[in-house]
């Protein structure tokens, strides 16, 4: 029965996040808001909600190991697997500076988190600082979006506001309830199978809660919208630190495992470097880089499971 609950809650989280994002995008279309604002804020916030809620419930229940593991596991999965697959489907050419700015932010926030947690603890003060960074991130993206909106003068698409609002409400409820049962059933499965909660956080939770980004990324890449994939994943990775960690830390200060410094953050930064450092010189991300990150993720899981 516990496995049925886990799968059902996983479906609720991923489908709920999908409805939430669809509803949010519909609302912005009705109101005529720039799509760059949707991608950088609404879509990224929507797809990071599973991680945020899982970590919030974990903080409330005092399961600090799950908080850091879930968040950094999702960042690693987003970077190595989702971007890796998207690059295999449609290698992007980076013609503007914006992807590099967002990549720089994505790389900077895990380093900031590492500095804040050098004492192996995230206090409410640390969480408050992350929340201020979140506020700056959202404001700067909204200002950029309004600037581009004025330049592009995008017109509204969907005229009926009630349908996207209903999607938003139903999706939010599904994500909240699904996250609660996903956490409880996942921990119970870990205990039954004799698997540590850290491994569950880095595998099942990370992959499951990243399914919205995965589905969105593959679909967008197949349609040729690789810039949408880059923006969504880079935004989600950034928010996983400054939104998810801040929310969890404000609810309840939590401890940070040494594994975060030894494995999670270094490997995540390595994957980001594989994708974006060569692009500084070539202005594109090639399929070989995507293959390397996917292989790297598999090797990382084997290493973590072998160690723990």
pLDDT tens for residues 182-208? 777 877 877 788 776 666 665 665 566
Q: What pLDDT sits at residue 110?
A: 93
pLDDT, position 158: 47
CB 247 within 8 Å of CB 56: yes
Query: What's the pLDDT at 132?
Result: 95
Give the C-alpha separation, 141 to 159, whole Å: 25
Does the pLDDT at position 304 exceed 90? no
Dihedral (Cα; 231, 237, 242, 248), 10-degree rounding: 140
**For residue 81, is pLDDT > 80?**
yes
Percent of the chain with pLDDT over 90: 26
- Using one digit for the tens of pLDDT, what is the confidence trace for 92-133? 888 777 778 888 999 999 999 999 988 888 999 999 999 999
Mean pLDDT of the chain: 80
Tell which wins on pLDDT, 264 or 214: 264
Number of domains in the chain: 1
Residue 291's pLDDT is what? 96
Distance of CA 131 to the CA centre of its chain: 16
- Residues 23, 164: contact at Cβ < 8 Å? yes
Judge whether 198 and 69 are in contact, CB under 8 Å.
yes
- Position 276 pLDDT exceeds 70: yes
| Mean local confidence (pLDDT), 75-90 | 91
pLDDT band at 156 (very low <50, low <70, confident <90, very high): very low
CA-to-CA separations, 18 to 45, 81, 181, in angstroms, rounded: 12, 19, 18
Give CA–CA dist 97/279, Å, rounded.
11
Say yes or no to pLDDT of 180 above 50. yes
CA distance linking residue 197 with residue 65, whole number of Å: 7
| pLDDT of res. 289 | 94
**Is 90 exceeded by the pLDDT of residue 140?**
no
Residue 14, pLDDT > 80, answer no
Report how far residue 86's alpha carbon sits from residue 175's, in angstroms, rounded to the nearest whole number: 25
84 or 98, greater pLDDT:
84
Q: DSSP per residue over 37-68, as a string?
A: HIIIIIIHHHHHHHHHHHHHHHHHTT-HHHHH
Range 139-161 average pLDDT:
64
Predicted confidence (pLDDT) at residue 252 exceeds the cutoff of 50: yes
Lowest-pLDDT choice from 7-11, 26-30, 226-230: 26-30
Three-class SS string for 129-198? HHHHHHHHHHHHHHHHHHHHHHHHCCCCCCCCCHHHHHHHHHHHHHHHHHHHHHHHHHHHHHHHHCCCHH
**The domain containing residue 262 runs over which residues?**
2-307
b/e per residue 184-195 (b: at least 16 CB within 10 A)? bbbbebbeeeeb
State residue 188's pLDDT score. Answer: 82
Residue environment code for 82-118, b if the CB has 16+ CB neighbours within 10 A, otherwise e: bbbbbbbbbbbebeeebbeebbebbbebbebbbebbe
Q: What is the mean pLDDT of residues 131-149?
A: 81
Q: Which of 78, 44, 69 is nearest to 293 (CA)?
A: 78
Q: Which CATH number goes with the domain that contains 94?
A: 1.20.1420.30
**Highest mean pLDDT of the ranges 34-43, 191-200, 278-287:** 278-287
């Amino acid at each position: 029965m516990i496995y049925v609950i886990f799968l059902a809650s996983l479906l609720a989280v991923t489908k709920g996040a999908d409805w939430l994002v669809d509803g949010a995008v519909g609302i912005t279309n009705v109101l005529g808001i720039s799509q760059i604002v949707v991608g950088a804020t609404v879509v990224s916030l929507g797809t990071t909600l599973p991680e945020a809620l899982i970590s919030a419930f974990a903080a409330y229940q005092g399961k600090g190991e799950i908080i850091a593991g879930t968040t950094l596991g999702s960042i690693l999965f987003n970077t190595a697997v989702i971007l890796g697959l998207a690059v295999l489907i449609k290698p992007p050419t980076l013609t503007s500076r914006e992807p590099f700015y967002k990549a720089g932010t994505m790389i900077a926030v895990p380093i900031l988190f590492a500095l804040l947690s050098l004492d192996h603890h995230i206090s409410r003060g640390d969480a408050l600082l992350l929340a201020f960074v979140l506020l700056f991130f959202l404001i700067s993206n909204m200002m950029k979006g309004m600037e581009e909106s004025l330049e592009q003068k995008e017109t509204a698409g969907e005229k009926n506001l009630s349908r996207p609002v209903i999607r938003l409400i139903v999706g939010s409820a599904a994500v909240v309830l699904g996250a609660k049962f996903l956490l409880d059933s996942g921990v119970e499965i870990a205990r039954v199978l004799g698997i540590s909660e850290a491994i569950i956080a880095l595998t099942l939770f990370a992959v499951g809660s990243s399914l919205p980004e995965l589905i969105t990324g593959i679909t967008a890449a197949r349609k040729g919208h690789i810039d949408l994939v880059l923006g969504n994943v880079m935004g989600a990775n950034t928010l996983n630190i400054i939104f998810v960690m801040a929310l969890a830390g404000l609810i309840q200060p939590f401890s940070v495992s040494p594994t975060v410094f030894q494995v999670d953050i270094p490997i995540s930064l390595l994957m980001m470097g594989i994708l974006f450092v060569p692009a500084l010189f070539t202005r594109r991300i090639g399929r070989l880089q995507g293959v390397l990150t996917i292989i790297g993720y598999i090797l990382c899981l084997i290493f973590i499971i072998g160690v723990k």
